[in-house]
A and B are shown apart, each in its own frame.
Chain A
Amino acid sequence: MVLRVWTEDGSSEPLRVDVRQTFDLSRGFRRTLTLTDIDLVLGAVRTFLDAGRAAGNGGR
């Protein structure tokens, strides 16, 4: 999982977080999205970690 964070000064929601994730780097990133809400970012990270733990493969 790769998080890319930047801010857009002056925006009503200035935070931008690009989230890219995969459990198999040989196949590239399977999912990319951009979020503006911290709780949604934390939720995405938690979901990813939960999925990795469930798969027992230590997802990267």
Chain B
Amino acid sequence: MNAPDQPASGAGSRSSHGPRISLLGGFGLSDGRVDIAIAEGPQRLLAFLALRKRPVRRTLAAGALWPDVNEEHAGSSLRSTLARLDEGARSALAVTASQLAIADRITVDLWESEALARRLAGPHDSLTVDRSSSAAVDALSSDILPDWYEDWVIVEAEAWRLQRLHALETLADDLRREGSYGQASTAAQAAIDADPLRESPRAALIRVHMAEGNVSDAIREFTRYRALLKRELGLEPTPRLQALLDQVR
């Protein structure tokens, strides 16, 4: 299995060569050239293992994937799913008598995007990824398996949502400082889309507009956010956000 901490050059690109599992924006399995259609059961198994990132005991996988039945029944369901795997799904798995994992040769889009987010969260003057490319923003713009509501998905999805939100804000600030205002604006907007009520992504977008000299856009964004906050929570933006705008008024 590929280590999740490996560098993510080209993170977010959907054109990576080789077999690939996608979890961001929805489930997908590809052999590197064409998508492979697999049934829902194998999808859940591959998604579970890809989210765990490491080899998982069969009993643990069975318990998570079939939580409403006893251990024996869950184990039987797992064996049945494994026995009926088609070639595409089978080749994506590393199976032993006691453990299951994603096969070494498989890449997972989430692993690459998480690596990018981690590097953005730390000191990254020498970040090798092309931060001005739209690929970096794309890599941070999708949720894990939207419309999947099982416990083992929700917990990971929430953690990723927060991680990518922070990374997008950092990316927006970096791109703004470099003068890449268009991409900075896109990154900030993606963070806003992830959490419309949160103030920090709005501040990031307002700073982009101000750096670009678009005072009217900055004021419009502030006004839009204030209306949303008033409507949803009956509150005003913080004085800090107000002060940001006061710099140009």
Contact = CB atoms under 8 A, between A and B. Distances in A.
Nearest to A6: B198
Interface stretch (B75-83, B181-189, B235-243): B235-243
Interface string A2-34: 101010111111001000001001101100001
B238 A36 contact: no
Interface residues of B, number: 16
A9 B200 CA distance: 10
B15 to A, nearest CB: 31
Interface of A: 2, 4, 6, 8-13, 16, 22, 25-26, 28-29, 34, 36
A28 B150 CA distance: 9
Tell me the dominant secondary structure on chain A's binding face.
Answer: loop
A13 B150 contact: no
B238 A25 contact: no
26 contacts: A2-B154, A2-B158, A6-B198, A8-B199, A8-B238, A9-B238, A10-B239, A10-B240, A11-B199, A11-B235, A11-B237, A11-B238, A12-B236, A16-B197, A16-B198, A16-B233, A22-B149, A25-B149, A25-B150, A26-B149, A28-B147, A28-B149, A34-B197, A34-B232, A34-B233, A36-B235
Contacts of B199: 8, 11
Nearest to B240: A10
Interface in B39-59: none
